[in-house]
Amino acid sequence: MLKIAVYGKGGIGKSTTVSHVAAALAEKGLKVMQIGCDPKADSTLLLRGPEEMKSVLDLVRKRKNDFTLKDMVREGYAGVICVEAGGPAPGTGCAGRGIIAALEKLGEKGAYETYQPDVVLYDVLGDVVCGGFTMPMRPGYAEHVFVVTSGENMSIHAAANIAAAVENFQDRGYAKFGGIILNRRNVKNEEEKVAELAEDLHSRIIGSLDRSETVLDAEELGKTVLEAFPDSEMAAQYRKLADQIMSSLGVALC
């Protein structure tokens, strides 16, 4: 089982990217689980459609421990297993602590043993890398961390912070930094700025995505591009990115 955490600044297109990578890997016959680690609990929306889904923390708040693993998951496009950690009630608690509680509850309910995924993708908000938001990096969870960024200054700053967090934990056996995914916003000198970031981090750009109206059109339909427009250029880009991520980890896909 390959376990990957994808971080990025809020609004950078991280959840969209993760969902498309999950869909692309599932299309190739892999069993994929996507775990949304964002308090908004909307990571897997494009995969599972508008059907209501309770987050793990919603279930814990309302039902304590009186629920099953099936209550925590939904099957999405191409069989992707979707999970949303959720967050505390507005104005109460700590979102980071919520992630810890949700991931621990998944373990208690035997999620990985039951579904036996080939790939687990953790979709993690990366504006602040502290406390529970580092939980997916810890032993037993993700083995590799990728970061989604554009050439926008705040996005690059967040990416640098995430990489620094991974480096700070490297002596503890936490996840390793896998590289950068460029999600273009067509800002000035974008390619150069992200390439410079990769060099500063002693890392590399694993793959890149164009800014495209096709993605927005698919989102309006509540679907991934791979489902809504499978023969489009953007669908090809997402499939290529999935291949590039796996190749960077030494996994060849047919």
**Overall CATH class of domain 2-247:** alpha beta
Q: Residue 121's beta-bridge partner residues?
A: 4, 34
66 is catalytic: no
Q: Which of 6-20, 154-168, 190-204, 211-225 is predicted with the least confidence, judged by mean pLDDT? A: 154-168
pLDDT for 95: 62
Selecting among 40, 42, 176, 240, the annotated active-site residue is 40
pLDDT for 89: 61
Distance CA 217, CA 97 (A): 35
- Domain boundaries in the chain? 2-247
Q: What is the mean pLDDT of residues 67-95?
A: 84
243 is catalytic: no
Average model confidence (pLDDT) across the chain: 90
pLDDT, one tens digit per residue, over 112-137 is 999 999 999 999 887 655 566 777 88
Structure tokens at 196: 């410079």
Pairing of strands 73-75, 81-84: antiparallel
Selecting among 42, 71, 118, 127, the annotated active-site residue is 127
Q: Are 178 and 147 in contact (CB under 8 A)?
A: no
